Structure 1
Amino acid sequence: MADLILHHYPTSPFSEKVRLILGYKQLAWKSVIIPSIMPKPDVLALTGGYRKTPFLQVGADIYCDSALIADVLEHLQPTPSLYPEPGKGLARTLAQWADSTLFWAAMAHNLGPRGAAHMFAGAPPETAKAFGEDRKAMTGGMVRLRPADAAAAYKSYLRRLSDMLDEQPFLLGQVPCIADFAAYHPLWFTRVRTPVMADILQLTPAVLDWMDRMHAIGQGGMEKFGSARAIAVAAAAEPTRVGDGLLTDSTFQDEHGIPLGSRVSITAESFGPEPTEGELIAATRTHYTLSRNDERAGTLHVHFPRIGYVLKAAIPA
C-alpha cells in the first residue's frame, strides 16, 4: 500500500474534515501544503484541472472531493466506520446537506465584512483582493447568501444540530459518523479562523460541547512532505487498475451515452468549475475515473464522486 498523501492547507475547512477522519481512522499520512489560491502548478500537474482543496494522492491515483476521500479511507480502514448501520443512508444524506447548505450559510456568515477584516488583518490589501478574486472565479454564477440572511439561516441550522444532540453525544448516536465530520468543519472555521464571528455558536452550548468532542479525535500521524516529492512519487508509480484499488466498484453505469475510452471532461456542478480532461476509464454508480498524462507526474488516474460532478464529452481541439 502506497503512502497516503493529503494535499491541503491548514485553514481549509474541507481539509479539516479529512484530517479528522484520518485521525478517527488512526491512519498515518503525509502532508503537502498547497496554495490557497491560484496559481497552483503542482496541483494541476496531478489533477489536470481540479483545484479545490483537499485532494488525496495514493501513488499515481488522485482522489478528488472530500466525499470521495471519505469513501476511500473507509475502504482502506473499515473500522471505526464512517457509515455505521443501520443509518448509513441517513448519515450520507445529512453529510451532503452539511457539505453544501450548512457550509455555504456558515461561510457567508464567517466572511462578512467583520470576519473578512479579521482574516486579513495585518496582510497587504492585495492579499485580500487576490483571495476575493480567486473565490469569485470559483463560485461562477452561484447565488450567495447576504451576511444577514446567512446569519439567520446559520442560527436555525445550529439549533437543529443542537436538537440532535439532546440525548446523544454525536449527531446520529453514540459514535461519530460521516455526518459529524461534514457538519463540524464549517463550524470549526467559524471558531478557529474567524473567531470574531463565533458568538453565534454560544447560542447552542450543546453544539460547542460536541465540537470539543470532535476536536479531541485528533488528526492521526502526520509527516511533512513536499509537492515536488509527491509528483516524483506519482511519476514512479503505476495507477491501479479499475476495480483493483481503493474504489472497488467497477461496473459501468451509462447515464450519458458516452462509452468508456472516450475523451471527456469532468467539472463540479457549482463551486470550482475548472474542468479536468482525460480518457474515461470508469463510470460506476458512485464515481468517475479519468486516465491522463502529465510530463512531470506521468500517467495518472484521477477519481471523482458521481454526485456533484458533471461528465461531458470533450470538444475536439
Structure 2
Amino acid sequence: MTELILHHYPASPFAHKARCVLGFKRLAWRSVIVPSVMPKPDVVALTGGYRRTPFLQIGADIYCDTALICDVLEHLRPEPTLYPPHLKGVSRVFAQWADTMLFTAAMAYNLQPRAAEALFAGFPEGAAQAFSADRRAMGMAHPHPQDAAAAYRSYLRRIANMVEEHDFLFGSEPCVADFAAYHPLWFTRQCVPVMADILSATPAVLEWMDRLAALGQGRAEKLSAQDAITVAAGAVPQPLLPEVFQDEHGIALGSHVSIAAESFGTEPTVGLLVAATRTRYTLARTDPRAGDLHVHFPRIGYVLRPA
C-alpha cells in the first residue's frame, strides 16, 4: 500500500477525527503540518484551491474532506470497520449531523473570547485576531455564544443517553459516528480546557471520550511539505475504478469544471472532470511543483460547476 500522508495541524478538530480513525485502523502514516490560516502555498499546490484541514495524500491522489477520507481508509483496511453492516445508514446520517450541527454549536461555544485568549497564549501578538479573520473569510457560521452553549448542552445530554447504554454510540464497538461526534468535544477538553466545565454534567460522555482516546492515533512519522510535494511529483494518479458515471448536471466527463464546498471554506478547485460516481467527484489537474494529480471530493457537501 502506498504510504498515507495526512496534511493537518495539531489543534484542528477535523484533523483529530482523521488521526483517531488512523489509530482505530492501526495504520502508519506520515504527518505534514500545514498552516492554520492562509496563505497555504504548499496546500494549494496539491489541492488546487481547497484549503480546509485535513486532507489525505496517497502518492498523486489527494482526498479532501474527512467523510471521504474515512471511506478511503475503510477501503484500504476494512477491519475494524467504520461502517458495521447493520449500521451503514444510521452511522453515516449521525456522522453528518455531528460534522455539521454538533460541530457548529461546539465550536461557537469553544471559541468565545476568553477561550481564544487561552488558546493563543504564547503565540505571537495578533495570532488570535488573524485566526478569527481567517475563519470569518472562510464563511464559518458564528451562532451567538449563549445559543451555542444551550444547544451544545442538549447535544451532550443526548450523546450521554446513548453511551450510558453502550461503550460506544451504537454498541460495543466504535463506528464512524463516534469519531465524528468526538472531535469537537476533544477540542473543548484538550484545546480550551478553560471551557471544559460544560462536560462535567455528562460523566458518561467523558468516559466514552476516554475509550476513544485509548484507541490512539496510529504510527506517525514527520514529513516536510516539500517532501510531500516531491512524493506527488514522482507518482502518477491511481487508475480510476470502472464505476458508473452519474450525471446530475449535464456536464460531460472531460469538461473543465470547478468544485467547492457548499458552506465554509468555499475556495474552488479547478480541473478536468474525470469521474463522477454515486459518492464522489474526481478532478485531474497539473501543478508546476506537484505534477499530475487527481483531487477527489465527496458529492455530499460540494458543488460542481462548469469552469
**Fold similarity call, TM over 0.5:** yes
Larger mean CA deviation between 218-227 and 113-122 belongs to: 113-122
Find the aligned partners of 2:199 and 2:234 in 1 and give their Cα distance: 47
2:57 corresponds to 1:52: no
Cα deviations by residue, 1:6-46 (Å, 9 ceiling, x for unpaired): 00001110010010110111111000011111111100000
2:288 corresponds to 1:295: yes
- What SS does the aligned partner of 1:87 have? helix
The alignment-based identity, stated in percent, is 66
Post-superposition offset of 1:123: 3.0
Q: What amino acid sits opposite 1:251 in the alignment?
A: V
Post-superposition offset of 1:143: 4.5
2:156 corresponds to 1:163: no
- What SS does the aligned partner of 1:89 have? helix
Q: Aligned residue for 1:213?
A: 211
Find the aligned partners of 1:57 and 1:124 in 2 and give their Cα distance: 30
Alignment of 1:61-210 (within 5 A): 61-139=61-139, 143-210=141-208
Q: What amino acid sits opposite 2:38 in the alignment?
A: M
TM-score, normalised via structure 1 length: 0.95
Find the aligned partners of 1:288 and 1:82 in 2 and give their Cα distance: 22
**What RMSD in Å do the two structures reach over aligned CA positions?**
0.9
Find the aligned partners of 2:55 and 2:122 in 1 and give their Cα distance: 30
Find the aligned partners of 2:87 and 2:67 in 1 and give their Cα distance: 17
Q: Aligned residue for 2:272?
A: 279
Q: Aligned residue for 1:266?
A: 259
Find the aligned partners of 2:88 and 2:119 in 1 and give their Cα distance: 36
Unaligned 5+ residue runs, structure 2? none
2:304 corresponds to 1:306: no
Q: Aligned residue for 2:29?
A: 29
- How many residue pairs are counted as aligned between the two chains? 307
Cα deviations by residue, 1:260-289 (Å, 9 ceiling, x for unpaired): 000000000001010000000001110000
Q: What amino acid sits opposite 1:272 in the alignment?
A: G
Q: Aligned residue for 2:39?
A: 39
Structure 2 contact 3–58 (Cα < 8 Å) conserved = yes
Find the aligned partners of 1:143 and 1:227 in 2 and give their Cα distance: 30
Post-superposition offset of 1:126: 1.5
Unaligned 5+ residue runs, structure 1? 244-248
Post-superposition offset of 1:208: 0.3
- What SS does the aligned partner of 1:303 have? strand
Post-superposition offset of 1:129: 1.3
